[in-house]
């Protein structure tokens, strides 16, 4: 539990860390979680996010992987309030006046905790990356726009609101375009048959990001070995070679031991 001050309140955020043997310092990936589906199941809010398969892939290559949970999620203190409808029983809102401020709240959590994570003695601060799954993916891209010191930005199936919302393109592209000032190439990894983000929707988001000045590659995969395309982060066999090439390009550890 890591104490932070955010929005004028002091809270403790839950953090899970995977590390290789030894004391480091290690290249470090800060990896952010997504939503809870449609936001209608409060029991899911406190459930820890633990992408062990993804973390193990990086640890095997000498990385530390740090998994912070934002306010009200995964055992963290505070209220989970990332863009809900005015009636929270309806879950996440498609209203841009509610949804985007919810993303801004999440970004403030990331901004508050990241310096504390990077100050840990096992972190090699010259070799740091940020990434995430779903909402964590889009947050990582958006946040990176103000943090060019990150050596890599990894977006697994990122988006804030699913394509079922009529406002999804407006919301998602608004947030993705914030990352266009990052300066370096970003890695976008998407799966076919994603119930939240169809490939056509995500390709359009990537094109909007590029039009705003962002650089990177958009990669798509069949959801082999997982239930659907939203779960490709749990199937390293799909994206391992693409990830290795990207990390190598960024001068970061990439190959298996």
User: Domains along the chain?
Assistant: 2-249 (3.40.50.1820)
Instruction: Tell me the two tokens of residue 47.
Output: 């459930």
pLDDT, residue 51, reads 94
- If one counts every other C-beta atom within 10 angstroms of the C-beta of residue 53, the result is 12
pLDDT above 80 for 257? no
Asked, as a colleague might, if the bond just before 25 is cis with ω within 30 of 0, I would say yes
Where are the strands (E) in the chain, listed by range? 2-6, 9-13, 15-18, 26-32, 64-68, 123-133, 152-156, 185-191, 215-221
pLDDT tens digits for range 222-234 = 998 888 999 999 9
Residue 220: pLDDT band (50, 70, 90) is very high
Instruction: Tell me the two tokens of residue 6.
Output: 């955010």
Residue 36: pLDDT band (50, 70, 90) is confident
pLDDT, residue 256, reads 61
Half-sphere exposure of 150 (CA within 13 A, CB side): 28
pLDDT above 60 for 195? yes
Contacts of 158 (CB under 8 A, 6+ apart): 132, 133, 134, 135, 136, 137, 138, 139, 140, 141, 176, 188, 197, 202
Helices (H), 68-145: 96-118, 135-144
Instruction: Tell me the two tokens of residue 53.
Output: 């398969």
pLDDT above 70 for 179? yes
What is the average per-residue pLDDT within 173-187? 97
pLDDT tens digits for range 112-166 = 999 999 999 999 999 999 999 999 999 999 999 999 999 999 999 999 999 999 9
pLDDT, residue 249, reads 94
What is the average per-residue pLDDT within 34-62? 91
């Amino acid at each position: 539990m890591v104490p932070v001050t955010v929005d004028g309140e002091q809270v403790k955020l839950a953090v899970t860390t995977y590390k290789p043997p030894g004391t480091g310092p290690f290249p470090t990936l800060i990896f952010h979680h997504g939503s809870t589906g449609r936001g209608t199941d409060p029991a899911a809010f406190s459930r820890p996010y633990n992408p062990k398969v993804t973390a193990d892939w990086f640890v095997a290559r000498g990385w530390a992987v740090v998994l912070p949970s934002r306010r009200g999620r995964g055992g963290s203190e505070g209220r989970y309030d990332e863009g809900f409808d005015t009636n929270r029983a309806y879950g996440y809102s498609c209203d841009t006046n509610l949804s985007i401020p919810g993303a801004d709240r999440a970004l403030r959590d990331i901004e508050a905790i990241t310096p504390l994570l990077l100050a840990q003695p096992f972190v090699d601060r010259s070799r740091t990356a940020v990434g995430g799954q779903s909402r964590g993916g889009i947050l990582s891209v958006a946040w990176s726009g103000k943090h060019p010191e990150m050596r890599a930005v990894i977006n697994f199936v990122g988006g804030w609101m699913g394509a079922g919302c009529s406002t999804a393109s407006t919301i998602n592209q608004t947030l993705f375009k914030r990352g266009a000032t990052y300066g370096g190439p970003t890695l976008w990894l998407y799966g076919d048959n994603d119930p939240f983000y169809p490939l056509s929707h995500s390709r359009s988001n990537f094109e909007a990001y590029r039009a705003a000045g962002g650089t990177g590659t958009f990669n798509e995969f069949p959801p082999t070995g997982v239930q659907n395309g939203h779960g490709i982060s749990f199937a390293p066999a799909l994206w391992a070679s693409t990830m290795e090439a990207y990390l190598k390009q960024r001068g970061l550890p990439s190959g298996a031991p």
